Amino acid sequence: MIVLDTHTLVWLTEGSSDLGPEARKTIDEAFSADVPVSVSAITFWEIATLASKRRLQMVQPIGAYRKEVLGLGIEEIPVTGETGIEAANLQGFHPDPADRLIVASTSLRRGILVTADRRILEWPGALSRIDARV
């Protein structure tokens, strides 16, 4: 399973050059091989929050964007009690709750997180991840 961090999802859906060629290839290969490509449900909250603060420009309402993303075959991982417990127990991880939930969702599913977040990439915990910029 491939899990896209929030900025990775935005870069992918916008066709942004910020998403590196290796990361894009990994995502494309997952789609081709029927490997699930997913996002945490908290990702849509993050996008909506960024848009409401005008830190992210959306061309459509977030609800329509979510439907479009799911229509592409990207799966939404629900935030469950199990996810919350896993997020709370991430040792040595920074306190951002959205990042904790995204990492916990990935970890519980033994997925690979595609992220450019330095704090996640440098965290020494057991998590499969690749840098979205390469």
3-15 pLDDT per residue, tens: 999 999 999 999 9
The rounded distance, in Å, linking the Cα atoms of 66 and 40 is 12
Question: Do residues 47 and 58 touch, judged by C-beta distance below 8 A?
Answer: yes
32-91 pLDDT per residue, tens: 999 999 999 999 999 999 999 999 999 999 999 999 999 999 999 999 999 999 999 999
Closest Cα to residue 79, out of 98, 64, 92, 95?
A: 98
Q: What is the CATH number of the domain that holds 102?
A: 3.40.50.1010
Question: Do residues 100 and 128 touch, judged by C-beta distance below 8 A?
Answer: no
The rounded distance, in Å, linking the Cα atoms of 116 and 93 is 16
Question: Do residues 103 and 93 touch, judged by C-beta distance below 8 A?
Answer: yes
Question: Count of domains in the chain?
Answer: 1
38-49 pLDDT per residue, tens: 999 999 999 999
Q: Between helices 42-52 and 6-14, what is the axis angle to 10°?
A: 70
Structural domain harbouring 12: 2-131
- DSSP structural state of residue 78: P
pLDDT of residue 124: 97
Supply the pTM of this predicted model: 0.96
